[in-house]
Amino acid sequence: MPAGQPSTPAFAADPDARPGLSGVHPDDLVSWVASSEFPPYRARQIADFHWGRHAATASEMHTLPASLRVALERDFRVDTLADTTVRPADAGLTEKALHRLADGRLVESVLMRYPARGSRRERATVCISSQAGCAVGCPFCATGELGFGRDLSVAEIVDQVRFWARRVTADGRRITNVVFMGMGEPLLNADPVIEAATALTDPARFGLGARHVTLSTSGVIPGIERLTALRPAWTLAVSLHAATPGLRDVLVPLNRRYPLADVVRAATDYADVTGRRVSYEYVMIDGINDTPADAEAVGALLRGRLAHVNLIPMNPVAHTAWRPSSAARVAAFADILRLAGVPVTVRRNRGEEIGAACGQLAAEQAGRPAPEAVRRRRDRVEREGAASFSGRP
Ligand code: SAH
Ligand code: SF4
């Protein structure tokens, strides 16, 4: 890109004002059918095609009269994803999709398949995005590097899941789990995210078991408090990454606004009120947050709480020289947590476990940031990191 030009491509305002059908409440669909002067049972038929067969266009709803199909396309977008490119990974067990939205923005979702093992049935987990980009700016995250683009609508969130449902249904499978661990901070787009999770777990809509939906947050306390008040059976995941305030300020910059101790308190309230164990995500970065002292700090923070820790070796990203912790380091960290009585799982470093590389594909495709900006950012991250670490206990 020639010097002096902005590195951020301009995005058109959304050229399509029609609401996405996936964001329309079933009662509103009934009202629309009535106001369009079709008999009430047509609403049920539309919902069956949309939620049961994951239709992408009204023309697939072949038992509807042509006039209703035309009216539906006139007033709604049956699918809000303009187009999608899929890339396989991990010998076909993982597939990554890059979705282009109507305004040209790119978001990513990932399908992870886990073959049946012992008494455990086969699972198919979809990792979805809640925003294009992210404002939080965690230095180890490809999405953070992109900066914030915009919030996704309810339909744009749900349609990522319907995309994969369409594909796996063709193989006689179904989606069993959804995790909000793709691009974006779900609880900074809380209304659409809560509505999308509601649609995904509504038996009359997508129909997933509530426990099979996980919302991951970097620690947006007002959002966690809203979830606690709603008392859903969704799983809450908190991205911890450090248990000492100075280090977490660097690794999760939102910590300066919502400090660690308050985040853990809010998450513990969620666990106590819902009876649901909170997952704490901990990305393991070589030499940065993986020492025995770091593990002891995590143990002291979480001991005695309804909590579970997931250790995830970092996926390397372009804008930092940081690398994943060695397997030995991760194992030693896990042992310390176990000794402290904190349940812990070590995730494999294949990107597929939680879609940890989510955001990287979109970052590549967007062609930004320019290499010079990456270098500057990398220098800054390392400077800030060094300053913070030198003051550590
Ligand atoms: N914004 C939310 C949800 C999306 S990120 C959050 O931060 O919780 C989902 C998970 O992927 C987070 O736990 C995040 O820390 C992790 N992640 C991001 N970049 C990663 C990387 N380079 N390697 C491993 N995990 C990463
Ligand atoms: Fe945003 Fe989550 Fe990435 Fe942090 S890890 S920048 S909160 S998407």
d(CA 111, CA 354) in angstroms, rounded, equals 10
Does ligand 1 lie within 6 Å of residue 154's CB atom?
A: no
pLDDT in tens, 47-63: 999 999 999 999 999 99
In this structure, the answer to whether residues 57 and 155 fall within a common structural domain is no
With beta carbons less than 8 A apart as the criterion, state whether 128 and 179 touch. yes
Q: Is residue 383 part of a domain?
A: yes
Structure confidence at residue 92 as a pLDDT band (50, 70, 90) = confident
Give the number of the ligand closest to the Cα of residue 353.
Answer: 1
Q: Is residue 9 part of a domain?
A: no
In this structure, the answer to whether residues 92 and 38 fall within a common structural domain is no
In this structure, the answer to whether residues 178 and 312 fall within a common structural domain is yes
Structurally, the chain folds into a number of domains equal to: 2
| Least trusted range by pLDDT, from 168-177, 290-299, 317-326 | 317-326
Q: Is residue 213 part of a domain?
A: yes
351 C-alpha to ligand 1 centroid (Å): 11
Ligand 2 binding pocket (C-beta < 6 A) is 134, 136-138, 141, 143-144, 184-185, 218, 239
Active site residue 108: yes
Domain that holds residue 41: 21-75
pLDDT in tens, 187-233: 999 999 999 999 999 999 999 999 999 999 999 999 999 999 999 99
In this structure, the answer to whether residues 290 and 360 fall within a common structural domain is yes
DSSP 207-236: ---GGGEEEEES--HHHHHHHHHH---PEE
d(CA 198, CA 200) in angstroms, rounded, equals 5
In this structure, the answer to whether residues 44 and 92 fall within a common structural domain is no
Q: Is residue 10 part of a domain?
A: no
Q: Is residue 5 part of a domain?
A: no
Chain-centroid distance of CA 228 in Å reads 19
Active site residue 127: no
Which residue, by CA, sits nearest to atom 15 of ligand 1?
239
Q: Which of 46, 75, 104 is the last residue before a domain boundary? A: 75
In this structure, the answer to whether residues 160 and 281 fall within a common structural domain is yes
pLDDT in tens, 314-346: 988 877 889 999 999 999 999 999 999 999 999
In this structure, the answer to whether residues 181 and 91 fall within a common structural domain is yes
In this structure, the answer to whether residues 55 and 130 fall within a common structural domain is no
What is the per-residue pLDDT for 88? Answer: 81
With beta carbons less than 8 A apart as the criterion, state whether 182 and 108 touch. yes
Does ligand 1 lie within 6 Å of residue 107's CB atom?
A: no
Among 289, 281, 295, 249, CA closest to 355: 281
Q: Which of 44, 75, 106 is the last residue before a domain boundary? A: 75
Measured between alpha carbons, how far apart are the two ends of the chain, in Å? 44
Of the residues 95, 108, 156, 185, only one is catalytic, namely 108
CATH number, domain of 35, equals 1.10.150
What is the per-residue pLDDT for 149? Answer: 93
CATH number, domain of 224, equals 3.20.20.70
Kindly state the average pLDDT of the residues 299-311: 97
Which residue, by CA, sits nearest to atom 8 of ligand 1?
217
Q: Which of 41, 75, 109 is the last residue before a domain boundary? A: 75
| Position 247, amino acid | L
Q: Based on C-alpha coordinates, what's the Rg of the chain?
A: 22
Q: Is residue 69 part of a domain?
A: yes
Portion of the chain with pLDDT greater than 90, in percent: 74
What is the per-residue pLDDT for 156? Answer: 98
Give the pTM. 0.90
In this structure, the answer to whether residues 160 and 213 fall within a common structural domain is yes
pLDDT in tens, 94-133: 898 999 999 999 999 999 888 888 888 889 999 999 999 9
Evaluate the CA torsion angle 224, 227, 231, 236 in order and state its sign: negative
CB neighbours (10 Å) of residue 213? 22
In this structure, the answer to whether residues 88 and 60 fall within a common structural domain is no
What is the per-residue pLDDT for 118? Answer: 87
Does ligand 1 lie within 6 Å of residue 146's CB atom?
A: no
In this structure, the answer to whether residues 312 and 208 fall within a common structural domain is yes
Q: Hey, which of 248, 289, 312, 320 would you mutate to test ligand 1's pocket, going by the most ligand atoms within 8 Å of its Cβ?
A: 312
Structure confidence at residue 360 as a pLDDT band (50, 70, 90) = low
Q: Average pLDDT of the chain?
A: 88
d(CA 180, CA 217) in angstroms, rounded, equals 9
Q: Is residue 15 part of a domain?
A: no
d(CA 191, CA 185) in angstroms, rounded, equals 12
Which tokens is 202 given? 């509504």
Residue 9 has pLDDT above 70, yes or no: no
Q: Is residue 1 part of a domain?
A: no
Of the residues 127, 134, 138, 358, only one is catalytic, namely 358
In this structure, the answer to whether residues 26 and 149 fall within a common structural domain is no
